[in-house]
Amino acid sequence: MADKSNAARVERDEKSLAGRRGAAPAAGKPRAAAAAPELSATQLDRLIHERTRLAIVSALAANPTLTFTELRELLRASDGNLSVHARKLEDAGYIACTKSFADRMPRTEYRLTASGRRALEKYLDHMEALIRATREG
């Protein structure tokens, strides 16, 4: 009985995601197990899910670039905290960092990469599916 309930929930979420993206699900055709959306909170992208990193990625999604100082002030983070989280996102290829000098002052600028934007979109889609599944019970 639990398997049927889970299968129905997965099918409902697939239809919802397909409808939102404008694609109609194939009628009567079961989808491959690999194509089913993950509805487990443990499957969230842990790199983005952390509060400060999610804030960094979200801020950069809304702005073409932000300097270290702008990000620090926006997020109210310490220099050390921001630099550690930004480095993790940079190492993953989610953000790009450009260092330069302006009037002999160091300037660090960040931007969201295409990979980072895709990861954020996937994360948000996953969260939306979890929210829907929770509300629909």
The CA distance from 63 to 81, in Å, is 21
Position with higher pLDDT, 133 vs 29: 133
Q: For residue range 1-49, list pLDDT tens digits in order.
A: 444 444 444 454 444 444 444 444 444 433 333 334 446 777 888 999 9
Residue 34 CA to residue 31 CA, distance in Å, equals 8
The answer as to whether 116 is a domain residue is yes
| CATH code for position 70 | 1.10.10.10
Q: Using CA atoms, how far apart are residues 50 and 81, in angstroms rounded to an integer?
A: 12
pLDDT (0 to 100) of residue 65: 98
Lowest-pLDDT choice from 19-23, 51-55, 63-67, 86-90: 19-23
> What is the pLDDT at residue 124?
95
3-state secondary structure of 93: coil
- 24-28, 83-87, 121-125: least confident range: 24-28
Number of domains observed in the structure of the chain: 1
Range of the domain at 119: 64-137
Cβ pair 59, 75 in contact under 8 A: yes
CA 58 distance to own-chain centroid: 8
Residue 52 inside a domain? The answer is no
Label residue 97 exposed, middle or buried (CB < 10 Å: 0-12, 13-18, 19+).
middle
User: Are 99 and 106 a contacting pair, CB within 8 Å?
Assistant: yes
Q: pTM higher than 0.75, yes or no?
A: no
**Is 69 among the domain residues?**
yes
Q: Does residue 16 form part of some domain?
A: no
What pLDDT sits at residue 28? 42
Q: Is 29 inside a domain boundary?
A: no
Q: How many CA atoms lie within 13 A of 101 on its CB side?
A: 3
